[in-house]
Amino acid sequence: MKLTVETGRNPYVAAKQKRRRSLGSMIVISLTFLLLSALFLAIAYPLLWMVINSFKTTEEIFSNSWALPVQWLFSNYAEAWNKGVSKYFLNSVFVTAVTVFLTLLFSVLSAYGLTRYSFRGKYLVLALLSAGIMFSPQVSLIPLYKMVQALGIHDTHWALILPYVAFRTSLIVLLVRSFFLSIPKELVEAAYMDGCTGIGILFRIYLPLSMPILFTSGLLTAYWAWNEFLFAVIFIDSDSLKTITSGLLAFRDAMYTDWAVLMAGLVISAIPLVLLFIFMQKSFIRGLAEGGVKG
Amino acid sequence: MKIRNIAPYLYVAPSLIIAFIFIYYPVMENVQSSFFSWSPFSDTKEFVALQNYTRLFDDSVFLVALKNNLIHLVISLAVQVVGGLVLAAILEDVVFRRVAPVLRTVYFLPVLISISVIGLLFSFIYNPDIGLLNKFLAMVGLEEYARGWLGDSDTAFPAIIAMGQWQGIGYITMLYIVAIQKIPPDLYEAAEMDGAGKIRKFLHITVPQVKEISFVTIIYTVSQSILTFSDVYVLTKGGPGNSSQVLSTYLYQKAFVDSEMGYASTIANVILGITVVVYLIQAKVFKNGQEG
Query: What is d(CA A31, CA B140) in angstroms, rounded to the nearest whole number?
Result: 20
Q: Partners of B47 in the beta sheet?
A: B36
ipTM value:
0.87
Q: Which residues of B touch A49 (CB under 8 A)?
A: 132
Give a yes or no: residue B114 inside a domain.
yes
In 3D space, the residue among B252, B245, B244, B281 whose CA is nearest the CA of residue B268 turns out to be B252
Which are the contacts of B66, defined by CB distance < 8 A and separation ≥ 6? B247, B270
pLDDT band at A135 (very low <50, low <70, confident <90, very high): confident
B113/A274 touch (CB, cutoff 8 Å), yes or no: yes
Handedness of CA B160, B162, B164, B166 (dihedral sign): negative
* A116/B8 CB distance under 8 A: yes
Cα(A162)–Cα(B22) distance, integer angstroms:
8
For residues A70-87, average pLDDT: 90
Name chain B contacts of A54, Cβ cutoff 8 Å: none
Contacts of A24 (CB under 8 A, 6+ apart): none
Contact A135 B106 (CB under 8 A): no
User: Binning pLDDT at 50, 70 and 90, where does residue A10 land?
Assistant: low
Distance, in Å, from the CA atom of B113 to the CA atom of A275, rounded to the nearest integer, reads 11
Residue B211 lies in a domain: yes
A-chain CB neighbours of B171 within 8 Å are: 288, 295
pLDDT in tens, A257-272: 788 899 999 999 999 8
- How far is it, in rounded angstroms, from Cα A241 to Cα B1? 47
Give the separation between CA B81 and CA B156, rounded to whole angstroms. 23
Yes or no: say if A201 and A125 are a contact pair by the CB < 8 Å rule. Answer: no
User: How confident is the prediction along chain B (292 residues), in pLDDT tens digits per residue?
Assistant: 455 578 889 999 999 999 999 999 999 999 998 998 888 777 778 888 888 999 999 999 999 999 999 999 999 999 999 999 999 999 998 888 889 999 999 999 999 999 999 999 999 899 888 788 888 888 888 888 888 899 999 999 999 999 999 999 999 999 999 899 989 989 998 888 888 888 889 999 999 999 888 988 998 899 899 999 999 999 999 989 999 999 999 999 999 999 999 999 999 999 999 988 888 887 777 666 544 3
Return the pLDDT at B176: 94
Chain A residue numbers with beta carbons less than 8 Å from the beta carbon of B40 are 146
* B232 shares contact with chain A (CB less than 8 Å): no
Contact B125 A1 (CB under 8 A): no
In one-letter notation, the amino acid at residue B128 is: P
A57, A73 contact by CB (below 8 A): yes
Put simply, the answer to whether B192 touches A4 (Cβ < 8 Å) is yes
Nearest to A135 among B23, B113, B129 (CB): B23
Q: How many residues does chain B have?
A: 292
Distances (CA, A) of A275 to A54, A269, B118: 18, 11, 17
**Closest by Cβ to B115, choosing from A50, A144, A227:** A227
Topology of domain A76-294, per CATH? MetI-like fold (1.10.3720)
The total number of structural domains that make up chain B: 1
> Is B18 among the domain residues?
no
Residue A95 pLDDT more than 90? yes
Nearest to A134 among B189, B261, B279 (CB): B279
CA distances from B98 to A281, B174, B184, B288 (A): 18, 17, 21, 38
- Does residue A294 have a pLDDT over 50? no
Confidence label for A36 from pLDDT (cuts 50, 70 and 90): very high
B36 DSSP β-pair partners: B47
Q: Which residues contact A51 (CB under 8 A, 6 or more apart)?
A: A267
**How many other CB atoms are found less than 10 A from the CB of residue B39?**
14
Are A182 and A212 a contacting pair, CB within 8 Å?
Answer: no
Nearest chain A Cα distance for residue B255, angstroms: 7
Task: Give the whole-number percent of chain A exceeding pLDDT 70.
Answer: 91
Q: What's the alpha-carbon Rg for chain B, to the nearest Å?
A: 24
In the stretch 235-274 of chain B, residues with CB closer than 8 A to chain A read 247-248, 251-252, 255-256, 261, 264-265, 268-269, 271-272
Residues in chain B within 8 Å Cβ distance of A285: 174, 178
CA distance B69 to B245: 9
In a domain, B6, yes or no: no
pLDDT at A4: 42
B43 domain residue, yes or no: no
How far, in Å, CA of A221 to CA of A227, rounded?
A: 10
The pLDDT of residue B276 is 87
CB contact under 8 A, B192 and A3: yes
pLDDT at B287: 67
Asked whether residue A72 carries a pLDDT value surpassing 50, the answer given is yes
Instruction: With CB atoms and an 8 Å threshold, state whether A142 touches B261.
Output: yes
Residues of A in contact with B192 (CB under 8 A): 1, 3-4
Count CB atoms within 10 A of the CB of residue B193: 10
Q: Where are the domains of chain A?
A: 1-45, 76-294
In a domain, B14, yes or no: no
Range picked from A22-36, A64-78, A174-188, B244-258 for highest mean pLDDT: B244-258
B104-160 pLDDT, tens digit each: 999 999 999 999 999 999 998 998 887 888 888 888 888 888 888 999 999 999 999
Indicate yes or no: CB of B233 within 8 angstroms of CB of A134. no
CB contact under 8 A, B15 and A106: yes
CB-CB: which of A226, A274, A294 is closest to B109?
A274
3-state DSSP call for residue B113? coil
What residues of B are in contact with residue A167 (Cβ under 8 Å)?
A: 22-23
The minimum CA-CA distance between A224 and chain B, rounded to whole Å, is: 10
Which residues form the domain of B282?
A: 59-287
- Determine how many CB atoms are found less than 10 A away from the CB of residue B17: 12
Of A59, A212, A149, which Cα lies nearest the Cα of B261?
A149
- Give residue-wise pLDDT tens across range B8-36: 899 999 999 999 999 999 999 999 989 98
CATH number at residue B174: 1.10.3720.10
Mean pLDDT (chain A) is 86
Q: What residues in A contact B26, CB-CB < 8 Å?
A: 140, 142-144, 147
Q: Between helices A259-279 and B115-125, what is the axis angle to 10°? A: 130
C-beta atoms of A144 and B22 within 8 A? yes
* Positive or negative torsion for Cα A238, A240, A243, A244: positive
Nearest chain B residue to A2 by CA distance is B192
Average pLDDT of the segment spanning A166-187: 89
Q: What string of H, E and C letters represents the secondary structure of B138-176?
A: HHCCCHHHCCCCCCCCCCHHHHHHHHHHHHHHHHHHHHH
Q: Is residue B225 part of a domain?
A: yes
Please give the pLDDT value at position B1.
Answer: 45
The type of residue at A288 is: L
Domain assignment of residue B76, yes or no? yes
Are the beta carbons of A117 and B269 separated by less than 8 Å? no
Chain B contact set for A264 (CB, 8 A): none
